[in-house]
Structure 1
C-alpha cells in the first residue's frame, strides 16, 4: 500500500476498486468529516500523483470527478479547492451486499472492452439539477411526449449540434429522435429496403447491422476497405443503398478520403440510391476539429445521417437520432407509425435543457481531453512493449484502436486466452464476413484509467507470448 503523507488514506493496488475511485473516496470522506474545510487548496496533481505513486492523469480524473459531484471547484491558475459542505450531498450508509449475486446486474466493463464511455466521469450532479429543474417547472413534458419524431426542444438542440460539430445545415423538422443508433439504422433500413433487396455494407463492419439485414431477408454486398475507405459497389450491382462510416471506419479506424466520398455521392445520384452515414463516435477526434460529415458535404441530398448520445453522453439513456433529407421525413415517420416508437420521451426534454445550458459541451470537452490522454498512454505502451508482436496505426480518433498482429499470431485464440484472464479484447477477424486477411485485436481505451490498463496490458502480453 502507498499512503499519502498529505492525507491519511492509502492506495491498495490489490483492491477491486480502481485507484482513482480510491482517491475519490478518501477525499470525499475527508471533506464530509471536516478534515478538509471549505476553501482548502488540494495539492497540485503532479505532486499528489508522485506522493501516491500513480499517474498524474489518475489524480486529474479523481479531482475532476469530485468537481462534477460538487465537492471541489476548479479555476484555471488556482488549482482545486474544497467547496462548502452545503453544496454536496452527504454519503448514505452503504447497503450490505447480498451473498448471492444479482444475475441480472451487469458488472463493470473489462479492460479493453471497446466503445465503452467511462460513466464514472458522467456529470451526475449537473444532470440531476437539469432533471430536478424540469420536474419543478414543466413535469408534464417528461410524460406526455409530443410529436412521434421526438421532443421539439431536443430536435432543435440536435440541429444546432450537428450544424456546429458536423457541418450539417438542417431544420429541426428533419430530426427524428430514436432509441440509439441501432434503432435509427433499423428505421432507415425498414424504410428504404424490402426483403430481397441488396444493400452495400462495409467489410469488416458492424456485426449487428449484418444480423439485422440477414434476419429481414436483405441481400448484402460486402465492400472491401482500403486506405481511402470503403470501395464502391461493383459495376452492375443491384445495391441502391449503402451503409458507411466515413468519418471513422468501424472497426479499422480510418477516415474516407474526399475523393471516395465524391465517388459514393455520384454513385447514389446515378442509381437513385441512398447512403446511410453511421457517425457513431465522430466527436472523439483528438487532433483538430471533427471531420465534416458526408451528409454536410452532400447537403442532405442523397445521405441520411445517424448519430447517437450513447458514446458521448450516456449509454443508459438509449437516445440517438436521424438527420433526414426533407424528401424522406414523411416516409421515415410512417415507418415509426407502423412499427412503434422505441425512444423514451422522459429524458428528452431534460437532455434538451442540458445541451442548451452548455453543460453537455463542458462534459464533452472534458471527457475528450481525458480519453485523449488514455489513448496516448495505450499507443505508447503498445509501440514500446508490443513492437515484436504487431503494430498500431494512430488515426487520432475514436474510442478504440486496432493492434494489427504479426504473422503467425491468431487473434481469436489470443482473445480467448485474454477473456479467461479477465481482459476483453475483440478479434478483428470476427468483424469480417469474408476472408479479408484482417488479423488484430480491438482495444477500447475510453472506459479505463491508465492504472487499470497497465496491468491488463501485462496480461495481454502474456496471452500473446503464451506465458
Structure 2
C-alpha cells in the first residue's frame, strides 16, 4: 500500500451504514478528490481487511460493488484498479425534501412522468472525452462519411452490444441508425405496410405507435394483454405486421411467456408476416439477467428489433436503431432513400467511441443501481402507505410501474387532482383502446431522486385522502 490515503481510513463501528458501503464511500470520495489518482491499485483484499479489522469477504463485496458501478476495473491475476475519473461522477449531494418544483429547469419532467432518464446523472466528462477524441482524430466523421444507415463504427458497436446483452447475432449492414425508437417504428410501418393494411398493436400499449398507424392510414387491430403478454390476432383479423414489447410490456410490465413467443413466431411464419420488437427499456432489470430478446429467439427471421439510447443514455441525442432480417435490408434502404435519415450524424462517431471504450457499460451499471434504489423506495412506500388505495405487481424491471386502483377510485380523477399539485401520474385508462376495466396510475421513478419521489408520494397520498373524504 504505497499510497498513504489507504492508511487514513478507519471503520466507524457505531454507524448504521454497512461496513462494505463505508469502504465504497471512502474510495469513491478519495477518487473524486484526486487523493487516489487514475490507475491506482486497490490494496489486496486480504491485506486491506487485516488493516481494517474486518473479514476479507466484506472487502471483496465492496470491490465488486465498485466494479459494478464503474469506479474500478479488474485485471485477472492483478487485482482492482481505479478508472479514469472522467468515466464516473458521484450523485449530487442530497437536498432537503420539498414539493416538486415545476420551474426548476426548462423541460424538466415532473414526478411521476414515465420513461424519463435522469439527465443529472449524465456522464458529461467521459462523453466530452469521446467527443474531443473524435474531433481530434476524425472531425469529418461528425458531418460527413455516413451511409443512409448511419455511421459504420456505431453500427459495429451496436452489433457487439446486442450480441452480448440481447443474444442477437447481426452484422453492421443489418443495422440502421434512427432518430430514436419512435422514428424506427414509423420507418417499419412505412416500409412494411401500405395504406389500408392492418397492423396489430398491444392494448393497452404505446400511444405514439397508434398515432403513426393512424397517420399512415393503417387499420388497427388491438391485441389484448393477459398474464402471458399480448394475445395473437383473433380469427378473421389479418394484420401482416404486429408491434410488441415482449421483454417488458408497455405499460403493464411483465415479460411475454416462451410459449406466447413461439406462438407469435409461428403466426409470422405461417402468414409471411413481420414482428416489430420494441425493446424500449430491457436493460433495466433489477433481478437476474435481462430477458432474452425475441429477435434473438427468432434468429432475426421474422422479427425486426428496435432499440434506443434515449432511455439508457440521453433523451436529447435522439438516437436509436433498428436491426433487420437480411431480406428486408434492400427495402429499408429504399425507404431511407425516399424519406432521408432523421438521425443526426454529428454524435454518432462519438457514441461509437463511448460504447467501444467500455464507458457506456459502466454508465449503464451505475444508473441501473441508482434507479434500483429509487424503485425500492417507491415500492416500499406504496406497500406501507397506499395499500388501502390500490396494488401493484413487482416485475423487477423497467423505469415505471402501474399502481392499480381499488374501487371507488378512478385513475382520471386522481391524476387530475395530482396534476394540480404539480405531480404527473398518467392514467392507465388513457392508453387503452378497447381494453376494459384498466384503472391505474403510471408511476415513473427513474428520472427523480429519492427526495423528489418522497415529496411527490406525499402529495399523491393527499389526493387519495381528499377523494376518500370528498
TM-score clears 0.5? yes
> 1: CA distance between counterparts of 2:374 and 2:391?
18
> Residue deviations 1:247-289, cap 9 Å, x none?
0000000100000000000000101100000000000011111
What's the counterpart of residue 159 of structure 2?
159
Displacement of 1:145 in angstroms is 3.3
The residue number in structure 2 matching 1:99 is none
Name the residue aligned to 1:214.
Answer: 214
Query: 2:440, 2:301 → 1: CA distance?
Result: 37
- In structure 2, the partner of 1:372 is 372
Which residue of the partner structure matches residue 461 of structure 1?
Answer: 461
CA separation in 1, counterparts of 2:333 and 2:326?
12
**Distance 1:87-1:466 versus aligned 2 partners, 3 A rule:** closer
1:391 CA displacement: 0.5
Q: What residue is the counterpart of 2:113 in the other structure?
A: 113
Does structure 2 retain, via aligned residues, the 8 Å contact 1:68–1:125? no
Q: Summarize the Cα distance change of 1:272–1:87 in structure 2 as closer, same or farther, 3 Å threshold.
A: closer
- Is 1:175 the counterpart of 2:175? The answer is yes
Q: Distance in 2 between matches of 1:47 and 1:132?
A: 46
1:307 maps to which residue?
Answer: 307
Distance 1:64 1:443 in 2: 31
Partner residue in 2 for 1:33: none
Per-residue deviation, 1:333: 1.2
Match of 1:389 in 2: 389
> Counterpart in 2 of 1:357?
357
Unaligned runs of 5+ in 2: 43-58, 72-81, 88-102
Q: Map 1:277-296 to 2 at 5 A.
A: 277-296=277-296
Give, in whole Å, the separation in 1 of the partners of 2:140 and 2:451: 45
Structure 1 Cα separation of the partners of residues 148 and 11 of structure 2: 50
CA distance in 1, matches of 2:259, 2:12: 46
Aligned to 1:148: 148
List aligned pairs for 1:260-275, cutoff 5 A: 260-275=260-275
Distance 1:323 1:407, change over 3 A: same
Alignment of 1:9-20 (within 5 A): none
Cα distance in 2 between the residues matched to 1:87 and 1:157? 21
Using the alignment, how far apart are the partners of 2:402 and 2:232 within structure 1?
24
Deviation per CA, 1:406-425: give whole Å up to 9, x if none: 02111011111111101111
Structure 2 CA distance for aligned equivalents of residues 185 and 45 of structure 1: 53
2:253–2:395 CA contact under 8 A, matched in 1: yes
Counterpart in the other structure of 2:53 = none
Contact 1:278-1:305 within 8 A present in 2 as well: yes
Q: For residues 411 and 64 of structure 1, what CA distance do their matches in structure 2 show?
A: 43
The change in CA–CA distance for 1:64 and 1:116 in structure 2 (over 3 A counts) is: farther
Alpha-carbon deviation of 1:236? Answer: 2.2
CA 1:65–1:122: 2 relative to 1, 3 Å: farther
Structure 1 stretches of 4+ with a deviation exceeding 4 A read 38-50, 63-80
Q: Is the 8 A contact 1:69 1:125 kept in 2?
A: no
Relative to the length of structure 2, the TM-score reads: 0.80
Q: Distance in 2 between matches of 1:373 and 1:245?
A: 25
Q: Matches of 1:87 and 1:320 in 2, distance apart? A: 25
SS of residue in 2 equivalent to 1:277: strand
Q: Distance in 2 between matches of 1:432 and 1:250?
A: 11
TM-score, normalised by the number of residues in structure 1: 0.81
Shift of 1:47: 8.8
Hey, what's the Cα distance between the residues in 1 that align with 2:459 and 2:157? 44
Q: CA–CA distance in 1 between the matches of 2:298 and 2:431?
A: 29
Matched, 1:127 2:124: no
Contact kept in structure 1, 2:148 and 2:340, CA below 8 Å? no
Distance 1:161 1:87, change over 3 A: closer
CA contact (8 A) 2:86 2:125 kept: no
Q: 1:177 to 1:414 in 2, by over 3 A?
A: same
Compute the displacement of 1:435 (Å). 4.4
Distance 2:421 2:153 in 1: 47
Task: Tell me the distance in 2 between the aligned counterparts of 1:129 and 1:423.
Answer: 37
* CA shift for structure 1 position 107: 3.4
User: Any conservation in 1 of the 2:176–2:321 contact (CA below 8 Å)?
Assistant: yes
3-state SS of paired residue (1:426): coil
CA gap of 1:87–1:250, structure 2 versus 1, over 3 A, is: closer
Residue 46 of structure 1 deviates from its aligned partner by 11
Q: Residues 175 and 48 from structure 1, CA distance in 2 versus in 1: closer, same or farther, beyond 3 angstroms?
A: farther
Q: Structure 2: how far apart are the matches of 1:153 and 1:181? A: 20
Partner of 1:335: 335
Give the superposition deviation at 1:432: 0.2
Alpha-carbon distance between aligned partners in 2 of 1:243 and 1:69, rounded to the nearest angstrom: 49
Give the secondary-structure state (helix, strand or coil) at the position aligned to 1:466: helix
Displacement after TM superposition at 1:448 (Å): 1.2
